Each structure stands twice: as structure tokens, then as C-alpha cells.
A and B are shown apart, each in its own frame.
Chain A
């Protein structure tokens, strides 16, 4: 069981550049979540999908952020253009549907630094 896979693990980019973060959820999981973690704001949910359909994107900070899930095994979070305040650790998580007590399994995170 490979768990949730995220790439890259670290990304350093300059302000104004496009950044794409990738996530492969655990096979068979119906839900996929994107979180952002910063010292100031803690762990925030950005968007989540159920069966590849975006359900709640109310946490997406602004139009510079977009997320897609073209199939059950892949999702991307894109920031364009990136800004220094986007520097954070971005986590992807997935969970099974059905049971209410199913926990979310987190990926290792992508540490993004925007200079």
C-alpha cells in the first residue's frame, strides 16, 4: 500500500511563476482533499472532491488557485501566478466513502517556497 503520493516534495519558485502540485490518492478512495498549512493560519481545507467532482471549493483563496481531478487516481492544484504569501506546506488527503468514521489519509505534503 503506497499511501497518498504527492509530488514534488519541495518546490522553490519565483513570484509570478506557475506552480503545479500533484496528488495520487489511495486506490479505491472516493474523496480527495487539498489542504494548506501555515504557521499563521494553521491547517486549512482548500477544496475537496467526491468521485472526481469538486464538492466544496470555498476554501480556495482566490482565482489564482485552481484544482482538477481528471480521474480517480490523479489530482492537481495549480497556482498561477504564484506570490510569496502562497509559501506553505500543501497536503493532499484521501478517504473512503461510506462509513462516517473513515479517517483521511494524508500524503507527505509539498513544501512550496515562493521567492
Chain B
């Protein structure tokens, strides 16, 4: 069974500094995908970045990058140059592997609340 673990309930960072949010996962399938979503206090879920298990390079999207360490089964989100608007809950999620009836569904971690201080 797929499992996602986010061990940091809360993180604090100073504005303009970088922060890393941890995510580890467990799967026995070689084909999977990892997503990060942001949930601000307003409640909506915003897609940030995606990493496929076969991707050779770490994914990047603007100030977001994913530190993907396949052997350690970790997919940490790095936010560079933090902004006050980055304060939110962040979720890591894993897409179930292809070939089964559960393909396409996501399993989410418990989330990390990030607070950016001015």
C-alpha cells in the first residue's frame, strides 16, 4: 500500500530565506508520481509541482523545486526566497501506479503548516 509521511507539523522561516519541507513515501511499485499542493488559509488547494519516478532531473517551477532522492524515498519541497504569501499548509501526495484500478488517485500526507515571518 502507498503511504506518504510528512514529519513536520509546522515550520517557520524568515522572509527571503529558503525552506525545505520534508516528504517521504513508501511504495513497492517502480512507477509513481509525486505532487505538492499548497492550501492557504482561504482553503483552496493549489498545485505546485510534480515529479515522476522516472524523471532524470529534479522538478523545478519558479521558486519551487523538488529534492527527489529515489533511493531514500524522499521528495522534499524547497521554497527559495520565501514570501509572506507562502504562509500556508503544504501537502505532499503520491499518485498510485499505473495498471491497477486505483491509477490516478492520490494519497496525501498530513501536511506541514509553513509560517513566513517578516
Which A positions have Cβ atoms within 8 angstroms of B? 31, 33, 42-43, 45, 48, 50, 55-56, 89, 91, 93, 95, 100-101, 103-106, 108-109, 111
Interface size on B, residues (CB 8 A): 23
Given A101-B52, A111-B43, 4 more pairs with CB closer than 8 A: A42-B109, A50-B104, A55-B102, A100-B98
Residues in B with CB closer than 8 Å to A95 are 104
Does B104 contact A45, Cβ atoms closer than 8 Å? no
Residues in A with CB closer than 8 Å to B37 are 106
Residues in B with CB closer than 8 Å to A33 are 105-106
Residues in A with CB closer than 8 Å to B106 are 33, 45, 104
Does A108 contact B44, Cβ atoms closer than 8 Å? yes
Q: Complex: how many Å from CA A111 to CA B107?
A: 21
B56 within 8 A of A: no
Return the CB mask of B20-34 against A: 1 if under 8 Å, else 0.
000000000000010
Partner of A56, one of B95, B105, B110: B105
